[in-house]
Structure 1
Amino acid sequence: MANNLSLKSFVVLMKASKIVQEQTKKDINNYNMHTSEFMVLEALYSKGKQTVRQISDAVLINSGSITYVMDKLEAKGLLERIDCKEDRRVVYIQITDEGKKLMDEIFPKHQLVIEDIFSCITDQEKEVFIDLLKKVGKKE
């Protein structure tokens, strides 16, 4: 049991994930924002207009919670809802000019924090790391 590499891999992954989440959360809190708010804005900032379902899938937040997060961001003037003309059941979410301006300012700083987190491994190691995590993540 002491040599169980699967268990050790799991424990190391969980510890690393916790540290990365703590560091990114601390950075996001500097902008008076919750992680979930930042994730929604980042998805819209990077990918443009999306449906609620697309955002929910992208940021791994369930649809009940995503509505609450979007309500808060809409109240702050950072995103807007747009009804789909072709299908009344569909609502698109789009970042506002104010939201884009905010992300133009804070996203490069956040990216530097992430770069710092991963600065201990080479680009080649990052590519291997990504491939390995994809393999583990595709197991269902």
Structure 2
Amino acid sequence: MTDNQTPNKDVSLKLFVVLSKAYRSLMDKAMRDMRDNGLSPSEFGILEVLYAKGRTPIQQIAGKILLTSGTMTYNIDKLESKGLIRRVLSKEDRRVVFAELTGQGEALFDDIFPRHADKIQGMMGVLTENEQQEAIRLLKRLGKGGAD
């Protein structure tokens, strides 16, 4: 392989550092917005899943936002005590517990999610739509390569 096909170690290390710093910067801004709305990032993630998917088994939510079962239970308890979600037992399988938004939770997310999405769009707006699509494609490829 030629040098054009295989990046040298310095370039690979630089990419790793730049990608890490960009991720940290973007996540810091996104988490600040979540906290400004009175939610931890985990709570926000749970509400976002329920807002998009509706009633969902708690175990599936944990898998979607990468939380351990203990952390998930803690956050579900907090959201339930805030009146934003409720637990619903499955009628088909007593081992399955669903979470769903309450009216209050839905109203809160109807209010905060569009503004949050606008802030995310603003952060990504330094790239054109085509550049964003290319970044998505490259980062997916990078993620699949890193999974080996």
Q: TM-score, normalised by structure 1?
A: 0.94
1:47 to partner: Cα distance: 1.3
Structure 1: gaps spanning 5 or more residues: none
> Is 1:110 matched with 2:116?
yes
Instruction: Report what 1:125 is aligned to.
Output: 131
Question: Using the alignment, how far apart are the partners of 1:4 and 1:54 within structure 2?
Answer: 40
Counterpart residue identity of residue 101, structure 1: A
Structure 2 residue aligned with 1:44: 50
- Give runs of aligned pairs for residues 57-136 of structure 1, distance below 5 A: 57-136=63-142
Q: Secondary structure at the match of 1:82?
A: strand
Q: Work out the percentage of aligned pairs sharing the same amino acid.
A: 42
3-state DSSP of counterpart to 1:4: helix
Q: Flag structure 2 segments of 5+ consecutive residues without an equivalent.
A: 1-7
What is the number of residues matched between the two proteins? 140
Q: Which residue of 1 aligns with 2:23?
A: 17
Distance 1:88 1:136 in 2: 41
Distance 2:143 2:69 in 1: 22
What residue is the counterpart of 2:33 in the other structure? Answer: 27
- Structure 1: 4+ residue segments shifted above 4 A: none
Q: CA deviation at 1:3?
A: 5.3
Aligned partner letter, 1:61: L
In the alignment, the residues of structure 2 paired with residue 122 and residue 109 of structure 1 have an alpha-carbon distance, to the nearest angstrom, of 20
Aligned CA RMSD, in angstroms, stands at: 1.5
- The amino acid of 2:18's aligned partner reads V
- Deviation of 1:118 after TM superposition, in Å, equals 0.4
Indicate the residue corresponding to 1:53 in structure 2.
59
What TM-score comes out, normalization by structure 2 length? 0.89
User: Residues of 2 paired with 1:132 and 1:62: CA distance?
Assistant: 29
CA apart distance, 1:136 = 2.0
